[in-house]
């Protein structure tokens, strides 16, 4: 993967001050160097400029960006972050149409495809991507993002000028752009966070290109165009056909995403999702006489402190051991200690430019930094739960009936530590309800659905648009902070489109959670793995970790200058610190209320301080 950035104004000539703007491009690239530590490049043209920080995975020698191509005396240019998994087919078609290539990169294929087909070429792409293309014939800049929003792309508009970047820090590298929070941004952090409204960049005036959309920038203005969206239609395949098609789509996606000019590895938790990905990869590599490298994550002494709960019914290690033996993989058991996990909370903020998902973000970031010592590219089992209905709130009656986001049904834990005056200002319930109702209204409907099936679509849509996006952000920022490319085969748009319309009875046949996915994996995994009950990403159960966080929060309060205390009630916070934690009660999704709230407070405070954020 890579980091892209740039600016564009059709009414300005940036080349009149060439050295100044080239320096800005270099600074924007340097700010995102962690995303692409192998190379960098810039291109300044009259109406704007582009910068690129490169992680070399495909076409290691000639794939440098920005890439430009000239046609009829006019020059097109592109910067791109991602991977295209149907590059060979696309390139073959373009060659048949008379185009030639000077590289073997997917970047040049995207640019050439745009030159042939225009912006609609995005519909032909199978992959994860965010790109910017300068189109001299139409005199416009095209910013485009993949269907699921796997790769990030932020922007801000100032008058006739647009500034864009893969990460928020890239935008803040542009002179005059400052991090400011208004009521909307504060609600995104305190009421919805770590989830965020689709398209919202949290900071005032900053937005994110919506998944499946492109932004066309020209003298006519800035026009957001949707090139892909989910559609509801009757499912006509039999149960047996549905299993067969699902199995094909999943395996085809995994095989396609193995494309790389450097060795790949997989994350292996011992759950059905990562095990399926690992099994397909191991089988493909075995055909080439190669061994798959796998990695599992846990916390030091977790076997000693672990307590089974509704959310975490079992530990991963025994299942990982079984899968390693089954796959004959070159496996690495990675562990994290309390101090490292707590320290990495701050790195997680730097990776996101925002407070994030507490210790499951910080630990993932740490584990990715360890994986990067061995590999550049990893395949993961992310997103299967959102697509196939694996989370508890797909199945619990109270979640089904709740007229709010099912992973944060109770705002009480959040409100319990905020100042009364700040609560009055935020109007949290109103903000959350407005965001919820807007998303529900966007759900693609099917007239044939009965009320129960229609509600299931709503819950599924909320998961795809909100919860999955949060986890995709986590995976992108956590991995790219160390220059590791993490791929997500289950988020292939073909899988999402197909499974979206599969009736709930087929997805959970005989009451088995994610039954469709499990049946589609028959013969690929041992039954003990294939039908293992879901167990989320590991968390530490060592109470010493929560004690460490509590001490840091107490030190923060005692310091007297913590910016987050502008919003927190000190007496309420002290009460939280003195109260025993309910490790079975979630704060967000399946994150435990006690330690995660403390971690989130520390992240918010560090964020406000480090980024010198102004509050309106």
Tell which phi-psi region holds residue 280, choosing left (phi > 0), alpha (psi between -120 and 50) or beta: alpha
Local structure of 221: helix, strand or coil: strand
First to last CA, the chain: 36
The C-alpha angle 25, 31, 35, rounded to 5 degrees, equals: 105
Nearest residue to 213 (alpha-carbon basis) of 122, 313, 109: 122
Select from 443, 389, 405, 465 the least CA-distant residue to 213.
Answer: 465
CA distance 62 to 70: 17
Q: How far apart are CA 520 and CA 535, in angstroms?
A: 20
DSSP letter for each residue of 441-477: HHSPP-TT--HHHHHHHHHHHHIIIIIHHHHHHHHHH
b/e sequence 165-189, b meaning 16+ C-beta within 10 Å: bbbbbbbbbbeebebebeeebbbbb
Confirm whether 2 is a catalytic residue.
yes
CA separation for the pair 350, 342 (Å, rounded): 14
Query: Taking the alpha carbons of 433, 434, 437, 439 in that order, is the dihedral positive or negative?
Result: negative
Side-chain-facing half-sphere of 326: CA atoms under 13 Å: 22
- Euclidean distance between CA atoms 362 and 338, whole angstroms: 11
Rounded distance between C-alpha atoms, residue 226 and residue 243, angstroms = 31
DSSP helix/strand/coil, 248: helix
Contacts of 297 (CB under 8 A, 6+ apart): 267, 269, 334, 335, 336, 363, 364, 367, 537, 538
CA distances from 58 to 87, 106, 165, 182 (A): 11, 8, 22, 42
Q: Number of helices and strands (H, E) in the chain?
A: 25, 21
Place of tokens 């494309």: 259
Active-site choice (2, 142, 265, 383)? 2
Those residues whose C-beta lies under 8 Å from the C-beta of residue 211, and which sit 6 or more positions away, are: 145, 146, 147, 148, 149, 198, 469
Distance (Å) of CA 246 to CA 85, 482, 526, 557: 18, 33, 19, 53
- Tokens at residue 527, please? 């039954």
Catalytically annotated residues: 2
């Amino acid at each position: 993967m890579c980091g892209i950035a740039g600016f564009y104004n059709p009414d300005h000539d940036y080349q009149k001050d060439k050295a100044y703007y080239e320096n800005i491009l270099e600074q924007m690239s340097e700010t995102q160097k962690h995303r692409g530590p192998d190379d960098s490049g810039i291109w300044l043209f009259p109406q704007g400029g582009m910068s690129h920080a490169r992680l070399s995975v495909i076409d290691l020698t000639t794939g440098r960006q920005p890439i430009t191509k000239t046609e009829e005396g006019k020059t097109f240019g592109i910067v791109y972050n991602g991977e295209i998994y149907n590059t060979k087919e696309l390139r073959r078609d373009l060659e048949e149409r008379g185009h030639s290539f000077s590289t073997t990169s997917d970047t040049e294929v995207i640019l050439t495809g745009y030159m042939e087909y225009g912006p609609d070429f995005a519909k032909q792409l199978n992959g994860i991507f965010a790109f910017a293309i300068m189109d001299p014939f139409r005199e416009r800049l095209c910013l485009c993002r993949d269907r699921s929003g796997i790769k990030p792309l932020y922007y801000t508009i100032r008058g006739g000028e647009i500034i864009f970047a893969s990460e928020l820090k890239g935008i803040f590298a542009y002179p005059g752009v400052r991090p400011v929070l208004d009521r909307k941004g504060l609600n995104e952090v305190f009421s919805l966070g770590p989830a965020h409204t689709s398209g919202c960049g949290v900071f005032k005036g900053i937005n994110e290109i919506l998944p499946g959309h492109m932004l066309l920038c020209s003298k006519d203005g800035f026009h957001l165009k949707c090139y892909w969206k989910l559609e509801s239609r009757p499912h006509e395949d039999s149960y047996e056909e549905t299993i067969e098609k699902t199995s094909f789509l999943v395996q085809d996606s995994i095989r396609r995403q193995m494309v790389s000019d450097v060795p790949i590895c997989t994350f292996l938790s011992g759950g059905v999702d990562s095990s399926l990905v690992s099994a397909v990869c191991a089988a493909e590599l075995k055909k080439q006489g190669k061994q798959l490298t796998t990695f599992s994550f846990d916390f030091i002494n977790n076997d000693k402190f672990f307590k089974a709960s509704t959310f975490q019914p079992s530990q991963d290690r025994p299942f990982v051991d079984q899968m390693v033996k089954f796959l004959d993989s070159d496996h690495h058991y990675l562990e994290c200690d309390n101090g490292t996990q707590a320290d990495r909370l701050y790195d997680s903020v730097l990776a996101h430019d925002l407070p994030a998902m507490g210790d499951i973000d910080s630990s993932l970031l740490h584990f990715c930094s360890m994986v990067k010592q061995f590999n550049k590219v990893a395949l993961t089992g992310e997103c299967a739960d959102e697509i196939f209905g694996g989370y508890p709130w797909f199945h619990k009656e109270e979640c089904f009936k709740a007229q709010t986001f099912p992973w944060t049904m109770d705002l009480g834990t959040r409100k319990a530590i905020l100042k009364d005056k700040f609560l009055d200002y935020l109007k949290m319930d109103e903000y959350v309800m407005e965001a919820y109702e807007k998303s529900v209204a966007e759900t693609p409907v099917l007239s044939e659905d009965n009320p129960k099936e229609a509600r299931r679509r709503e819950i599924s849509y909320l998961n795809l648009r909100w919860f999955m996006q949060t986890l995709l952000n986590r995976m992108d920022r956590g991995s790219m902070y160390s220059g590791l490319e993490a791929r997500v085969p289950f988020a292939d748009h073909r899988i999402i489109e197909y499974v979206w319309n599969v009736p709930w009875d087929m997805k959970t046949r005989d009451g088995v959670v994610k039954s469709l996915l499990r049946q589609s994996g028959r013969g690929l995994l041992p039954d003990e793995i294939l039908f293992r009950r879901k167990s989320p990403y590991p968390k530490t159960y060592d109470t010493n970790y929560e004690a460490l966080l509590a001490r840091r929060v107490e030190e923060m309060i005692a310091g007297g200058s913590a910016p987050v205390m502008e919003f927190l009630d000190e007496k309420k916070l002290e009460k939280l610190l003195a109260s025993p934690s309910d490790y079975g009660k979630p704060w967000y999704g399946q994150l435990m209320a006690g330690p995660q709230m403390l971690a989130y407070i520390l992240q918010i405070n560090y964020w406000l301080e480090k980024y010198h954020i102004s509050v309106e």
